[in-house]
Structure 1
Amino acid sequence: MRSSVLTALAALSLTTTSFAQTPPVLPDDQAQMKAHVLFLASDALRGREAASPEYRIAAEYVAAQFSAAGLAPAGDAGGYLQKVPLVAFHPADHGDVVLTRPGTAPQPFVFAEDYTPGAIAGAARTTLDAPVVFVGHGLVAPRYKRDDYAGVDVRGKVVALFAGAPASFQSEERAHFQSPATKAAIAAAHGAVGVIVLSRGTLPPGGGGWDRARTTWARPDGTGEMQGAPMLATLSAGGAAKLFAGARTPWKMILAKASDGEARFTAEALGTNLAVAIRTAFEPGTSANVAGMIRGSDPALGKEVVVLSAHLDHLGVKAEGTGDLIYNGAEDNAVGIAALIEEAKRFKASGKPPRRSVLFLAVTAEEKGLVGSDYFARHPTVPIRSIVADVNLDMPILSYPFEDMTVFGADRSTLGPIVAKAVGTLGVTMSPDPDPAQGIFVRSDHYRFVQQGVPSVFLWPGQKGPGKAATAEFFAKRYHQVSDDLAQPIDWAQGIRFVNANYAIAREIADGDARPRWNKGDFFGLLYGGYGAKWSWHLAFTFPAKAGVQ
């Protein structure tokens, strides 16, 4: 009996202590936002990796919240989910790369010493035997007076090129041009059948990471979606020297010149063939985007759609190690999804439907290369031509009282002034990109809408006042780390300010008289045939649409 009493008293003492340590009760709106993040970033969801059972639970949770917010289903077959077929792909083995030159015996290249094979999404087996043409960095950029393909015919041939793009290019445009996908698309537009990437040094020991799996969305035959010429292999400087042996321009001269990032090369046929055989292994998976819609009230404008997007997936669980192994992804991007849900509730609570329709979209596989958003943009559940804007929420850092907002892409379309007006009513200003070299504009899900010609912006709390230090700390200590969890400081009041700012932006776009349009002459507007950007047939041919950044 005495023991039981003491046990009960001890329990009561612990309960009393627990109550004493409970944090202050949050206002309802902050508590609701926090509740979403508590669930989505919990250990139980094991990092929400795309195609995992835990990701499916997260998707069902978002679908339920969209329903509670009064959104109509906008996924497949009258539901909230859009099935996204995924496929992971990687080289099945080392492959074969053999150099042939008239009058000499075939010369096999040595794996990990001379080359590492590419991962080719579009075919289980890729074989070819074709002449090789050197094309510098493989760029064609008329506005920079750059054509690395000038003077050569690469139809039916393999192009050899260096990675990267000149630092003198505008930062977002440079990020586009240095993308392997862009280089592959330019090569294909000129008729090339494959791409070889040239290195200026040695390859990592053992080919380091050569067999790493990549992910894209799957075609009906089980292979992966692929744009452009296949990336066949990466050559070391030693392998490149073998390739250039006997060429008009010696490899030593090319290599010395390549140290200058602004260097221009004269394209030339190398007088050699490469016989390449690459085998690719595929592992299928299934994931889902989540889509809900508020129908527009205006008889004409209601046919137009404003998309508000955020990615739901994160990195899953570490493959090995001890201790905490779960990438919870609280800021990246449970907070963004929570903001999306709470923004939807703002529309319902207003009692006033928007003039344009608004589609709320939680996408999968962002962490695997913007895959879910690419799938939606290519297989939209509403006509792609009806989508007039995308506003993307990805990893808003909410550990400080933000004084401004950074809006990537604001200077490229009329969305910039719309956003400035909306956030200005909340006492928040807009600031320019604090680190243009990062090319953030092409690195999140909104870019997949840009590639379909849709004016788009991506918003972050800005770096005025305490923002710069807080942002730097997050990237140094928590970005893509297991420490991006609920133990970090998240200021839920700032979360509500972020929701309010985004609601004001979405409402301004949805209710405005004029459809958002690209600024005339904007690079991306021209590149992808966007509304208002004076289409150029020359650019359309030179830079095929959908040459995206992975």
Structure 2
Amino acid sequence: MKRHLILAALLTIGAANLNAASPKKTAPEQKGVETINRATAEAHIEFLACDELEGREAGWKGGRIAGNYIISCLKQMGLQPLFDDYVQPFEVCHAERQIKNKRWQVHPDSIAALKKTVHQKLDLRNILAKIEGKNPNEIVVIGAHYDHLGYDPTLEGDQIYNGADDNASGVAAVLQVARAFLATGEQPERTVIFAFWDGEEKGLLGSRYFTMTYPELKKIKGYLNYDMIGRNNNEEQPKGVVYFYTAAHPAFGDWLKKDIEDYRLQLEPDYRAWDNPVGGSDNGSFAKEGIPIIWYHTNGHPDYHLPGDEAAKINWNKTVDITKASFLAMWKLANEKKY
């Protein structure tokens, strides 16, 4: 009997040692979350919001440099372009500048009409990449606009609208989420498009052009948007974030509540279910097509659309936690069978 007890004990110890030597399997999404960090957020935002880019105005040199930077990041990660190239070029036109109350136009009929008169013209570029899904008939999109307001040489003092929060913060999040998807080591069920819109500040032009022309629009099952995720609307509530989502999909709200708890994210969301979320930002271009949306936003702040929107004022901890939360939401958009 004693001999059998000793043998049983040795077998138990051996099994325990084997279990200790074998690391627990990490969920794919946890691997992704672990790649999202402050240093990467700082690297992207500080470059995109630096004075040398002169405010990244759509159609101007600084905006073009910002687009080239995004392309270099996508290439470095090894992401495929959505089309033959990462760039989706498009033109926009505007009435001659003395004609008031006119908007930049991206629809071909409006452009054709403007070209019959004296008009302004800009050549813009969306930047688009993808990860192919197992099911090519379903697509989800995550996006942020990369343009801002440029600079004004007539301003006294600081003349550059750096746009660190608006929307270098959102661009940094899309880039980090793309890297997180790759880090999971898993192919998502749905194809994921990573989009960087041009011309948002001139009227949602890039996202509107995409939804007007993308031949597989009907396959898109959801769109996740960032526009300003790096500042505090109220300094007494540094964890605040506004979470807009399509009201017909209450699961979107449930996801965030659970992920905050599971990953101990330091966020205090203002949940805003929206019946028809067609306003505010590039989410509107998708909502108008009946596509469910999620939009992360931290509300306005004193430097909104002013030269004071600089990287030094970013709330880095919140930016990182919003990026983690949104990656988890995007992972679900890409993989959940029903939502």
* TM-score scaled by length of structure 2: 0.79
For the residues of structure 1 that align with 2:143 and 2:198, how far apart are their CA atoms?
Answer: 11
Please report how far the alpha carbon of residue 357 of structure 1 lies from its aligned counterpart in structure 2 after TM superposition.
1.0
User: 2:127 maps to what in 1?
Assistant: 290
Q: Find the residue that maps to 2:311 and give its secondary structure.
A: coil
1:369 to 203, 210, 214: 203
Which residue in 2 is equivalent to 1:500? 324
Q: Does the CA contact (< 8 Å) of 1:90 and 1:213 recur in 2?
A: no
Alpha-carbon distance, 1:223 to partner: 3.0
Q: Post-superposition shift, 1:304?
A: 0.9
- Corresponding position of 2:184: 350
| Equivalent-residue separation in structure 2 for 1:282 and 1:423 (angstroms) | 50
After superposition, the C-alpha distances for 1:22-70 in whole angstroms (9 at most, x for unaligned) are: xxxxx99312211111111111111111111221111111111122223
Distance in 2 separating the partners of 1:84 and 1:392: 21
Give the share of equivalent positions with the same residue, in percent: 29
Computing the radius of gyration from Cα coordinates, the structure with the larger value is 1
Residue 89 of structure 2 corresponds to which residue in structure 1? 83
Q: Which consecutive unaligned segments of at least 5 residues does structure 2 have?
A: 1-34
The residue number in structure 1 matching 2:293 is: 456
Say which structure is richer in helix. 2
Contact 1:217 1:224 in 2 (8 A): no
CA distance in 2, matches of 1:486, 1:507: 28
Cα distance per residue 1:348-376 (max 9 Å; x no partner): 11111211111000001111111110001
After TM superposition, the structure 1 = structure 2 runs for residues 136-535 of structure 1, keeping only pairs within 5 Å, are 211=100, 214-217=103-106, 219=108, 222-223=111-112, 281-296=118-133, 298=134, 301-380=135-214, 383-399=216-232, 403=239, 405-414=241-250, 415-427=252-264, 428=267, 430-433=269-272, 442-461=279-298, 475=301, 477-488=302-313, 490-514=314-338, 516=339
The change in CA–CA distance for 1:384 and 1:224 in structure 2 (over 3 A counts) is farther
Structure 2 Cα separation of the partners of residues 492 and 358 of structure 1: 26
Q: Deviations over 1:456-497 (max 9, x none)?
A: 121135xxxxxxxxx5xx52x200000001232x23232221
Matches of 1:497 and 1:432 in 2, distance apart? 16
1:216 offset after TM fit, Å?
A: 1.8
Q: What SS is found at the alignment partner of 2:290?
A: coil
3-state secondary structure, aligned to 1:215: coil
Q: Equivalent residue of 1:480, what SS?
A: coil
Q: Residue 307 of structure 1 contacts residue 361 of structure 1 at CA under 8 Å; is this kept in 2?
A: yes
Partner Cα separation in structure 2 for residue 223 and residue 320 of structure 1: 33
Deviations 1:236-282 (A, max 9, x none): xxxxxxxxxxxxxxxxxxxxxxxxxxxxxxxxxxxxxxxxxxx9642
**Aligned mates of 1:224, 1:317 — CA distance in 2:** 30
Alignment of 1:68-147 (within 5 A): 68-75=76-83, 78-90=84-96
Count of aligned residue pairs for this structure pair: 297
**Unaligned regions of 5+ residues in structure 1, if any?**
1-26, 93-209, 226-278, 462-470, 517-550
Distance 2:110 2:334 in 1: 39
1:526-545 alignment to 2 at 5 Å? none
Letter of the 2:223 partner, please give it: D
TM-score by length of 1: 0.50
3-state DSSP class of the match of 1:409?
strand
Q: CA deviation at 1:424?
A: 4.4
CA distance in 2 between partners of 1:280 and 1:212 (Å): 17
SS for the counterpart of 2:144 is strand
Is the CA contact (8 Å cut-off) linking 2:277 and 2:283 kept in structure 1? Answer: no
Measure, in 2, the Cα distance between the counterparts of 1:419 and 1:449. Answer: 21
Q: Residue by residue, what CA displacement relative to the aligned partner does 1:74-104 show, whole Å, maximum 9, x if unpaired?
A: 14xx111100211122476xxxxxxxxxxxx
Query: How far 1:454 moved relative to its partner?
Result: 0.8
Matches of 2:36 and 2:328, distance apart in 1: 20
Distance 2:189 2:62 in 1: 36
Q: Which amino acid aligns with 1:460?
A: H
Query: 1:224–1:340: structure 2 CA closer, same or farther, 3 Å change rule?
Result: farther
- Bigger relative CO (Cα 8 Å, ≥ 6 apart): 2
